[in-house]
Amino acid sequence: MYDGIVQELIDEFGRLPGIGPKSAQRIAFHILQTQNFDVSRLSELLIEVREKVRFCEVCGNITQEERCAICRDPRRDQSLICVVEEPKDVVAIERTRQFRGLYHVLGGAISPIDGIGPDDLSIPQLMSRLSSTEVHEVIIATDPNLEGEATAAYLSRLLNSIEVPVSRLASGLPVGGDLEFADEVTLGRAFEGRQKLS
Amino acid sequence: MYDGIVQELIDEFGRLPGIGPKSAQRIAFHILQTQNFDVSRLSELLIEVREKVRFCEVCGNITQEERCAICRDPRRDQSLICVVEEPKDVVAIERTRQFRGLYHVLGGAISPIDGIGPDDLSIPQLMSRLSSTEVHEVIIATDPNLEGEATAAYLSRLLNSIEVPVSRLASGLPVGGDLEFADEVTLGRAFEGRQKLS
């Protein structure tokens, strides 16, 4: 195909998620031909990120310290824990500016098909965290899909057994959407979760 | 958003063509979390490719030497030159194994909207190449789109003026496609270029 290292670069990019052979080729040529693209910075960052970024020892979020910025922040409400699947969910929730408690990042969701059980997630860490601190509410914010719902159901049983109040993010119609385009499961949930207006 | 360098890595990936913010985030997390992804090899390759890869001084194709592998190959027919827009077109044509001549890579196509004129491409280099070697045919293989056709028309006039035989790759129905799904321009071209069967 291409001379040595160009093909190697295309292959390496092609190993990244969501990048097919055509995109990989396009990216490699962009890097070759665009002088103002900072190759050395990307090259450094790849190494730096792998070396310096780790998981917060309290919540499992990504951080460059032992504890993440949210766990270190004394202004956050220590009695509220929001359980999410991935670090990117923390970022999504932080963007809403509605939640001022702490997080617990599971590192995925229960998925028997993929061989992921409760012990492959940071559920034991969550339980020991709850036993050592006073928590008023655990909000389960796993994804509203099959794996996320299974994880929420599992957690809810587990947390009920140790008598910690648990809630789950509301399901319903997405704001700004058209009712007619909502799928029947979402619409059904919106009915179940309907709220009194007066 | 994310702690320092993770966000920086996401931003750098987001500057590559065809990678939006969501994909960039997905790639960054893949790199963070997948231990068997070889970060150091990708990191090295980025630097190596930029340092070592250059353009063939004869045809403009990419190479790690002064002249590319095709220009160095004595078995190639030196009297045939196929003019293409980009190095990736060379790879596509090589894959057919139908062409045994040399190439000339323009580095793009004429596009007044993007401010790319004949002098921004390696057209002067093509002309001086043709004046110093005996060439029996120049095959124009620019893309079959607006810019490619404009470039082909421009080159054809220029080459006629110095009396070099010029041809253009055939337009027509793609092999394996359905006639009913062909657009009218392609179908029109297929009629124009119809060939006698007996």
Q: Is the reported ipTM for this assembly greater than 0.85? A: no
- The structural domains of chain A, ordered by start, are 4-40 (1.10.8.420), 75-168 (3.40.1360.10)
Contacts of A122 in chain B (CB under 8 A): none
User: B135-168 pLDDT, tens per residue?
Assistant: 999 999 999 888 999 999 999 999 999 988 999 8
For residues A133 and B194, which has the higher predicted lDDT (pLDDT)? A133
User: A133-159 pLDDT, tens per residue?
Assistant: 899 999 999 998 889 999 999 999 999
Dist. CA B28–CA A53, nearest whole Å: 11
| Closest residue by Cα to residue A13 from B46, B33, B61 | B46
| Closest residue by Cα to residue B89 from B143, B153, B137 | B143
Q: Do B27 and A18 touch (CB under 8 A)?
A: yes
In the stretch 76-105 of chain B, residues with CB closer than 8 A to chain A read 86-88, 91
The mean-pLDDT minimum among A68-77, A104-113, B86-95, B101-110 falls in: B86-95
Dist. CA A54–CA A114, nearest whole Å: 24
In the stretch 12-71 of chain B, residues with CB closer than 8 A to chain A read 12-13, 15-19, 23, 25-32, 37-50, 52-53, 62-64, 68-69
A32 → closest Cβ in B42, B49, B69: B49
**Residue type (1 letter), B13:** F
**Residue type (1 letter), B91:** V
Beta pairing partners, A70? none
Separation in Å, CA of A17 to nearest CA in chain B = 6
Dist. CA A46–CA A75, nearest whole Å: 33
Asked whether residue B86 carries a pLDDT value surpassing 80, the answer given is yes
A82 three-class SS: strand
Dist. CA B40–CA A47, nearest whole Å: 6
Cβ burial B89-105 (10 Å sphere, 16+ → b, else e): bbbebeeeeebebbbbb
Length of chain B, please? Answer: 198
